[in-house]
Homo-oligomer: A and B are copies of this chain.
Amino acid sequence: MVFTTTRKVRFEHCDPAGIVFYPRYFEMLNACIEDWFEERLGRSFGAIHVDGGFAVPTARCEVRFTAPSRIGDPLELRLRPLRVGRSSLDLEIDISSNGEARLHADFTLVHVAQATGRPASWPDALRGPIEDDIARTGATGQTEGEAPHGT
């Protein structure tokens, strides 16, 4: 039920120490979030950004790296939405390889209008599927009251 994507560690991801250079993980994490929006929420980043005039920048992220990944390692990324505020969204992503944890990431995204750069309420077409996925994957949704991180 948890949204899951897979990646293989490639040559391009690895540094002279032969392990994944961590900024490359952020590209993978961002791609996982992008896939989740498109495949689970039903709205692509292209539709949101290019057609819609909105954006979903990252307001905060915290990543704990548990073990290094090497070229050829198959990676599994599991994304779980945690809380949705008026215009914010907390989610977590775990990356593992053959069951071994590689990193745990916590993200806070904000839905903003590109024209103003200001937070904008999630449209119902996104809020509904986000709440459904929070309910489905077992975390406690926060849909009323104080938004996390004041947004």
A residues in contact (CB < 8 Å) with B: 10-12, 14-19, 21-24, 26-27, 30-31, 34, 44-46, 49-50, 55, 57-65, 68, 70-72, 114, 117
Contacts and interface: CB of A to CB of B under 8 A. Distances in A.
- When all copies of this chain in the complex are counted, the total is 4
A17 to B, nearest CB: 5
Contacts of A64: 59-60
A17 B55 contact: yes
Contacts of A24: 23
B46 A72 contact: yes
Contact of A117 (B46, B58, B68): B68
A57 B65 contact: yes
Contacts of A62: 60-63
A71 B57 contact: no
Contacts of A18: 16, 50
A74 to B, nearest CB: 12
A66 to B, nearest CB: 9
A46 B34 contact: no
A23 B80 CA distance: 21
A10 B31 contact: yes
Contacts of A26: 22-23, 26
25 contacts: A11-B34, A11-B46, A12-B31, A14-B15, A16-B16, A17-B57, A17-B114, A18-B50, A19-B55, A22-B30, A23-B27, A23-B30, A26-B26, A44-B72, A49-B71, A50-B71, A58-B65, A59-B64, A60-B62, A60-B63, A61-B62, A61-B63, A62-B62, A62-B63, A68-B117
